[in-house]
Structures are given as C-alpha cells and as structure tokens.
Amino acid sequence: MSDRHKPEVLASRWVAHSRLFHVEEQKLRFGNGVERTYERLNPGFHGAVMVIALDADGKLLLVREYGAGVGDYYLSFPKGAVHAEESILDAANRELMEETGHGAHRLDVLCELTLSPSYMGNRMSLVLARELFPKRLPGDEPEPLIVSAHSFDELIELQRAGVVHEAYAVAALFLARERLAAAEVL
C-alpha cells in the first residue's frame, strides 16, 4: 500500500501494567531521520472476538452488560478474549455459549478490526455464527447477561437512537448485513 518503511525502533520499555493492559513506550526513528517517542496500549491477551449470531428466525443475538469504560450498561454482540490455546473460531463459539447459551455449527470470520491504531494494539476478529443450537458454558461475567434477539432493521434503529453505540458492534452490524446480502441470505 505504501513504499514507506516502518520506523526503526531505537528503544522500547514497558512503563505500566494492569490485569488487562500493558503500556509500552517506544522511541522511533522515521525514514526522514525524525525521532519521536510514542506510547502504546497493548492488551494483556491474545486478541479478541465479537460474535454476530444469526438465529433460525433471522434475528441477531445481543447481550446487555455493564461497561466500566462508559460507566453504564450497554447492548452489544457477545465478545471476549481469545485464549492462548484457542483458534479464533473456537474462542467465538465458546464466548457465544458463555454469553447467550447457544453454540453454532457454522462460523465464518468476517474480518479483523482495530480501534485507535495510533496508540492501541487491540485487534477484534468479527465472526458470523449461524446454525445455532442450545448449549451453555459457564462464563466469567459477574452477573447474568441479558440476551435479546433483534432484526437488522431494529438494530439500525437502536443505533440511530444511541442504544447500540459500541464502534465494533456498529461495524459488525453493517459488515454482517453486507455479507449475508451478498450470499442472498437476507
């Protein structure tokens, strides 16, 4: 995409750690000789998945859970960290079972997204789940999640109303709709 080379890393050190994040400071030299110090936030896990689960009625399963970042409950697709020993699809199916009480016989990776790539290393794989079946696994949530099913049109209205506002979820909604329309499922 570009003929530019990545900057040279002159120095790198961890400056802070928490249970979920690591802050890394990097001193870089760009191709034009300019040196700059950057900080980046890296997750303390092996990536994450968000599951866009389509039930037999053509509705999408969402969960309502508390988000400490926004200090309130929010509506989104099931999601979670990928464990070191898991594939993206295994993690997606596990998270779906933990958060909605359903598994999927058919799982397809839609894409991988980043959020604020200038200072965050987080990557989220979006996975489309179909051919659902009932199966619950114990999860790590502090309280039971509220699961609801919505049509694409209902979710677009909820997004317009500000109820669905997580950036990954909004992108997932439109990407899944596009994929299913191209496959003539919708």
Here the tokens at position 27 are 């001193």
C-alpha torsion angle, residues 88, 93, 97, 100 (rounded to 10): 90
Q: Can you give the C-alpha Rg of the chain in angstroms? A: 19
Decide if pLDDT at 186 tops 70: no
User: In the predicted model, is pLDDT for residue 73 greater than 80?
Assistant: yes
For residues 118 and 133, give the distance between their C-alpha atoms in angstroms, rounded to a whole number.
Answer: 40
- CA–CA gap between residue 166 and residue 96 (Å, rounded): 18
pLDDT digits (tens, 9 = 90+) for 78-129: 999 999 899 999 999 999 999 999 999 999 999 999 988 888 888 899 999 9
Starting at the earlier edge strand, list the strands of the sheet with 8-17: 8-17, 21-29, 35-43
Instruction: Count Cα atoms within 13 angstroms, Cβ side, for 125.
Output: 21
Predicted model pTM? 0.87
The alpha helices in the chain, defined as continuous H runs, are 88-100, 152-160, 167-182
Which residues share a beta bridge with 71?
A: none
Give whole-number Cα distances, 56 to 93, 102, 155, 184, in Å: 17, 12, 17, 15
Least Cα distance to 166 among 111, 113, 99 occurs for: 113
In the block, tokens 């689960």 appear at 53
Give the model confidence (pLDDT) of 14-60 as tens digits: 999 887 778 989 999 999 999 999 998 876 667 899 999 999 999 99
Contact by Cβ (8 Å): 93, 83: no
Residues 6+ positions from 17 with CB-CB distance below 8 Å: 23, 44
pLDDT value at 171 more than 90: yes
The predicted pLDDT at position 69 comes to 87
Strand-pair partners of 35: 29
Tens digits of residue pLDDT in 129-164: 999 999 999 998 889 999 999 999 999 999 999 999
C-alpha span between 113 and 180 (Å, rounded): 19
CATH superfamily of 48-182: Nucleoside Triphosphate Pyrophosphohydrolase (3.90.79.10)
